[in-house]
Chains A and B, each alone.
Chain A
Amino acid sequence: MSNGIKDKVAIIGMGCSKFGERWDASPEDLVNEAFEEAINDAGIKKNDIDAAWFGVFYEEQNVGKSAYPLSQYLRLPNIPVTRVENLCATGTEALRGAVYAVAAGACDIALAMGCEKLKDTGFSGLPERTKGTFEDLYQPNFTPPGAFAQLGASYAHKHGIDMTDLKRAMAHVSWKSHENGFKNPKAHLRKKLTMEEIINSPVIAYPLGVLDCCGVSDGASCAIVAKPEIAKSLVGDNFVTVKSLQLSPSNGVEMGHGSWDGAHTLTTKKAAENAYKEAGISDPLNDISLTEVHDCFSITELVLMEDLGLSKKGHGPKDILDGKFDANGLIPCQIDGGLKCFGHPIGASGLRMNYEIYLQLLGRAKDRQLKNVKFGLAHNLGGIPNRNVAAISILGMNS
């Protein structure tokens, strides 16, 4: 691997809109809500930004195509804006573009913005879409819950776990996130749930019940990144830097080769190995203080704990039930409430995860604040277990 991104770029400001069913707001409103927070946090002027990356997934169905929505919403002075899309990793992809531009020296300050306005599409889950002219001819008409539900039966079979026991561990994933999200004013769903409510919720896609699924919501989130020298001139030595930014897309093995077991996410494992290496982390269990992972469904978070190396293979359910990833556990996961409570406005989610880690590192997370935060890891999984894009970012303080 090359030298990587570690400590080459600082995050000088972040913002996140209130997530939820934002019937009151347009994408323009959400973007400006997140941006105002970030620009005030950074203490710079809008015209100091050299370039921007804009993440939107369902472009035609909400925000619209191309770069100009962002340029227009913020009335940017005709600086370069790149619109990016990489499934559920879209927000992190926007961040990656901005960070790489600064690291390359092409920009001093760059903006990464992600936004999605899903609720106006009229669907209660994610909207329907085609898969392209060829794949429509043969790919199953899956939904995201159905595609991720596949992990459930395969995981139970592979590790010899009774589905009732697996369901209990999955329910704990959701229960824990609601306990956390309850405290977060920016979360969409701020309600505590009982284990029984979750376990007995109506089935959406076996073995997932409706309370195993994350919400669908509207939101925007952003980051302003800069050269470390600029961060230093603004705030002194105490600022957040990017330790690693890794992306691992499937190459077709899961979809078409018998070697994949259907019970884990192959790309997460690969991205995590590279991310730890890039960040110089040899013992993630010790060094990672918190994670924000792609908990689109409870079973996803369960297998991700293993794929990220935070649980041993087959130990995910026990670790989860033992509280290892609870707010007071060894490595809290979704301390902000996760996708489960924030919902998943696709373009914004990756940046929303990094926003929480940013707050935690700077000690600004109020009553969610964790102690001794060293490194925080954010993870997205775009697509489905069969074929996806895994994105991992690790943030820490300037070393």
Chain B
Amino acid sequence: MDSKSGITNFSAYVPNQAMSRTAMVDAIGWTKPSLKAFNTGSRRYVEWDEDPITLSVAAASSLELNTIKQLCFASTSAPFLDRQNAGIIATALDLPTTTHCFELSGSQRAGSSALINMSKITDNSILVAADCRKSKAGSPAEMLNGDASAALSLGTENVLAEIIDTETIYADIVDHYRTEKSGTDYYLEDRWFRDEGLNKIVPQAVSKLLVRQNISVTDISHFILPVPNPSMAKSVAKTLGIANEAISDSLYENCGYTGCAHSLLMLINVLDKAKADEWILLCGFGQGCDTVLLKATSKLVEKQRSSISLKNQLKKGKVETNYTKFLSSSGLIDIDWGMRSERDNRTAHSVAFNKTRDIYGFVGGKCTTCKTPQFPKSRRCVNPECSAFDTQIDYRFSSIDGKIKSFTEDWLAFTRNPPLMYGNVDFEGGGNIFLEITGFGVGEISIGTKVSTTFRIKDIDSKRGFHRYFWKAAPEKSGHHV
């Protein structure tokens, strides 16, 4: 049995939509010619019904969840300031209520700091980080950012990458900041940040760690430094004496910088290809620097063989070229959606609480008399040949695939990404559920189309600043990195 704590599994989720940077520059480049510097590749972005919580559920649902004792959620753009976001994720994953759920926020180091903290826990645990940071239209951040989530399983058995040592330095260098009211980041002069911040603080933290472990920079096979502008990582590597080949892919080309999730997302990209015994140096920067030294184990090869790499996953997806659709997805333009958008979506919280496991966990019933799966769970079986009373046991639909039995593309119904699609889904193993459908374009669904379920925002109560979640049918295993 291994005794050292480390990463025992990993999974990333990237939204299926990517916005072409060329299209962005074409649409908004007139405001500042300097934006042309970003005229390549694409950035991932979330649809209106996705947020860090839904991204986290999507990433973590691929991991082994049976023995989890702790769930840590890291984000700087979590939807709720005072309502436990991690608890929503845990409910959607249907984790036991005794799972210790907690979260970390406050800086771009939230992901790496969470990893440091979790490395000290010996329980089987999950760390999931996700960010969907809003940026102003026409800002460099809009070009550089991306939305995604990264989930890690941590434990002491079957470790894929051991966490050898960690180091941290704090420094209140305000290269950017965001307040509750501002909504988007305010950026300072980036050369000052590069020269006085990154290039001085990162080497301090790294040196301390490497000296303590008696490791040379040339021993590092993978150097992870997530920064919005990838050229800055090269500058720091040069200062440290780390070879260009060891600098990990910034994922700029078709993902973008995913905030506090990015150190872990880049780590997953490294773990997809790292060889046994290679040293990985992960840094996280945000008003200071976290460093985590990891060592790949021989067990990693098996995982690499059995899963789709993040790199391959990023090759898939839909590239959007309509800039207004991109802006609308994050609510940056106020589109006239008509009277149907005025419906009052007030939530009856007493009902929502009673039905938390039904709705967030997507737990229905299975009749013990006739074995019919059904949703929602009810007192009497839905099978007309049975209708037995109080015979249903819990039956979770969230991990079951299905196929479309009926559908429409509804241009009358309100949705922030018309047309609203919905239909009857016939689940493998039984069960018919009338569900909203997401992730398909017009003309992409037909009867029999295979679908998976995905945890999404169901309704937004804009009057009260609340929103609720439920599961929707989506293209089979879209966006997943397993």
Show the binding face of A for B, using Cβ within 8 Å: 122-123, 125, 128-130, 133-134, 136-143, 145-147, 149-154, 156-157, 203-206, 208, 251-253, 255-263, 386
Contacts and interface: CB of A to CB of B under 8 A. Distances in A.
Interface in B400-421: 405-415, 419-420
B211 interface: no
Interface stretch (B235-243, B285-293, B300-308, B372-380): B372-380
Nearest to A266: B384
Closest 3 CB pairs of A and B: A146-B410, A133-B348, A140-B422
Contacts of B374: 256-257
B432 interface: yes
Most buried by B among A129, A130, A205, A251: A205
B83 interface: no
A141 B436 contact: yes
A142 B410 contact: yes
B405 A130 contact: no
Interface stretch (B71-79, B115-123, B274-282, B336-344): B336-344
Given A137-B470, A142-B413, A204-B411, 16 more contacts: A122-B339, A128-B340, A129-B343, A134-B355, A136-B348, A137-B352, A138-B376, A138-B470, A141-B422, A141-B459, A146-B410, A154-B447, A157-B446, A204-B412, A205-B412, A253-B382
Interface in B302-356: 339-340, 342-345, 347-348, 351-352, 355
A338 to B, nearest CB: 21
B442 to A, nearest CB: 8
A153 B408 contact: yes
Nearest to B432: A258
A136 B349 CA distance: 12
Given A252-B378, A256-B374, A128 B342 contact: yes
Contacts of B405: 154, 261-262
A143 B420 CA distance: 10
A149 B408 contact: yes
B424 interface: yes
Interface of B: 339-340, 342-345, 347-348, 351-352, 355, 358-359, 372, 374-376, 378, 382-384, 405-415, 419-420, 422-424, 426, 430-436, 446-448, 458-459, 468, 470
B406 A137 contact: no
A160 to B, nearest CB: 11
A260 B432 contact: yes
Nearest to A149: B408
Contacts of B446: 153, 157
A287 B446 CA distance: 40
A362 B423 CA distance: 44
A130 B435 contact: no
B460 to A, nearest CB: 11
7 contacts: A128-B342, A137-B347, A141-B420, A145-B412, A153-B447, A157-B447, A256-B431
Contacts of A251: 384
Contacts of A253: 382, 384
Given A122-B339, A154-B447, A205-B410, A146 B420 contact: yes
A128 B339 contact: yes
A153 B407 contact: yes
Given A204-B411, A256-B432, A260-B432, A150 B342 contact: no
Contact of A145 (B410, B431, B435): B410
A205 B409 contact: yes
Most buried by B among A128, A251, A386: A128
Nearest to A257: B382
Nearest to A384: B434
Most buried by B among A122, A123, A146, A253: A146
B412 A143 contact: yes
A314 to B, nearest CB: 16
Nearest to A145: B412
Nearest to B360: A137
Contacts of B352: 137
Contacts of A140: 420, 422, 434-436
B383 A130 contact: no
Contacts of A137: 347, 351-352, 355, 359, 458, 468, 470
A122 B459 CA distance: 23
B412 A157 contact: no
Contacts of A128: 339-340, 342-343, 414
Contacts of B420: 140-142, 146
A232 to B, nearest CB: 44
Nearest to A263: B406
A141 B422 CA distance: 8
Contact of A134 (B351, B414, B447): B351
B410 A262 contact: no
Contact of A258 (B376, B426, B470): B426
Contacts of B376: 134, 138
B352 to A, nearest CB: 6
Given A128-B342, A139-B434, A141-B436, A256 B382 contact: yes
Most buried by B among A133, A137, A147, A263: A137
Most buried by A among B347, B405, B410, B430: B410
B424 A150 contact: yes
Nearest to B349: A133
Contacts of A143: 340, 410, 412-413
A234 B372 CA distance: 58
Nearest to A148: B408
A7 B440 CA distance: 55
A14 to B, nearest CB: 33
Contacts of B351: 133-134, 137
Contacts of A134: 348, 351, 355, 376
A259 B372 CA distance: 11
Nearest to A258: B432
A206 B442 CA distance: 10
A145 to B, nearest CB: 6
Nearest to B431: A258
A141 B431 contact: no
A257 B424 CA distance: 10
A287 B412 CA distance: 40
Contacts of B431: 256, 258
A151 B413 CA distance: 17
A262 B406 contact: yes
B375 to A, nearest CB: 7
Contact of A136 (B345, B358, B406, B412): B345
B405 to A, nearest CB: 5
B345 A125 contact: no
A125 B411 CA distance: 12
A143 B421 CA distance: 11
A123 B340 CA distance: 8
B384 A257 contact: yes
A142 B414 CA distance: 9
Nearest to A252: B382
A141 B413 contact: yes
B56 to A, nearest CB: 20
Contacts of A258: 426, 430-432
A125 B422 contact: no
A146 B436 CA distance: 11
Contacts of A256: 374-375, 382, 431-433
B326 to A, nearest CB: 23
Contact of B459 (A136, A203, A205): A136
